[in-house]
Structures are given as C-alpha cells and as structure tokens.
Structure 1
Amino acid sequence: MNCKRGDVFFADLSPVVGSEQGGVRPVLIIQNDVGNKYSPTVIVAAITSQIEKAKLPTHVEITAEEHGLDRDSVVLLEQIRTIDKQRLRDRITHLAPELMKRVDDALQISLGLIEF
C-alpha cells in the first residue's frame, strides 16, 4: 500500500476499547514518508464528522467540499494510533500544506511538544 503523509484514507479501526474511535472511518496519515515507504504499519489520526464535539486545540476542521468527504469533519489529533497498512482501504484525498501546518501545530499540542 502506497501512502503519503497528508493522505486521507478510509480505514477499519475496529476492534476498539473504551473511548477509542472505531469502525470504518477516514483517517489522516501523519507518519513521515520514509516510514510510510518501508514500514508495514502507519501512524494515523482519526477523523470524525461529529463537528459539534468540543473544540479542542488538538482538533483541525476540514471541509467536505474541498476534501472529497461526505460531510465537514474534524481531525482528532488526540486520537492517534499505529495501524497495519492492511487496515487501509480507499484513498480519499490529500490535504494541502497549509492545512497540514495546522495539523502539525495540533499534533505538537497533543504530544506536549509545545506549551499551550
């Protein structure tokens, strides 16, 4: 499976435990492209269409119209996980560099790499 950082794929995230995001849903590839090329696994962030969820500094909104999604959605940078590439299904889109900058900022907050 060929994937690049910034790609959005459908992925099957089940089974899950507790409050983990599950089911077949869009995910954003956040792993670097060297890892994407050579590793059988990939690091992703879950995406939800429940945009009324609490607005956290770890959330990045993406519009359906501009990104080929069914509904406006939110990338949940507090819901990151490593999955096997076999969980990836169809590629949906690739996020623009400006949006990935917002993803990077939210990811730094999520991982405690910067003070918020």
Structure 2
Amino acid sequence: MSRKYLRGEIYYADLDPVVGSEQMGTRPVLILQNNVGNHFARTVIVAPITSRIHTKSKIPTHSNIGMIGRMKYPSVVMLEQLRTLDKRRIGYYIGKLPEEKMQDVTRALCVSLAIRQNTSKGM
C-alpha cells in the first residue's frame, strides 16, 4: 500500500542527481501539491528545505518555518527551488506545518511564481 501524501507535510527526499545550483542530496522537502494531485499522481511537487539559514540571504521566496517535527535546526523552505519528484524518492515523514506557517509558504510561493495572491478568505 502506498503512503498518502498531504499538502503541508515534510519528508526526507533524495534530490540527486542535480545540475548546477539545484539543491542536492537527501534533505527535507515540503509537499506543495494539492491533495487531489497527491492522491492520483505518481509524482509530488515539493520545495527543498535548508537549515543553513545563516548562509542564505533573506529573500521573498524563502519562508522561515523554524523547527518542525523531527527537525534538529530552524529551517527555511526555498520556494525558488521547486521540484517535481517521483514518489519513490520520498523517504520518511518528518512533520506537518501548522496552518499559519503554510500561509507564509503560500505567500512566498506566489512571489516565486509571480501569482497575484487573493487577499479574500479561502486562498
């Protein structure tokens, strides 16, 4: 039976192989894809997470999520580094972002994709 992935969950994933400046290795990723897509597709859309906050300049496509679940260090979701991964690359579960953190992630995602965010309820 395959795992049910949900938007807002964090897992370890194998991001190799990579080219150039892409995030590499086995690292935490945040599931961004909607739950319908997560259910039916063999792939998931994710954003890599880094704990190297001190080496990353604060940019609008980053969302600080602190420490979630099994994470050992405060971390940042890098929404300029979106990836579509086969579900076989996904490893073990780390945790789930609270709704207020997901709202911050959504804002940074909208900046990354140049999507005008709806300010009304339901976004």
What is the TM-score of this pair, normalised by structure 2? 0.89
Unaligned stretches of 5+ residues in structure 2:
118-123
Larger Rg: 2
Structure 2 counterpart of 1:55, one-letter code: K
TM alignment of 1:28-67, pairs within 5 A: 28-52=30-54, 53-64=56-67, 66-67=68-69
Match of 2:100 among 66, 90, 98: 98
Aligned residues: 114
Structure 1 unaligned regions, length at least 5: none
Could you list the structure 1 runs, at least 4 aligned residues long, displaced by more than 3 angstroms after superposition: none
Higher strand share: 1
User: Tell me, what secondary structure is at the counterpart of 1:105?
Assistant: helix
Match of 2:29 among 27, 30, 40: 27
Aligned amino acid, residue 7 of structure 1: E
SS, match of residue 28 in structure 1? strand
Superposition RMSD in Å: 1.2
Distance 2:110 2:100 in 1: 16
Paired letter, 1:18:
G
Cα deviation digits, residues 47-66 of structure 1 (max 9, x gap): 001101110011111222x4
Inter-partner Cα distance in structure 2 for 1:90 and 1:15? 19
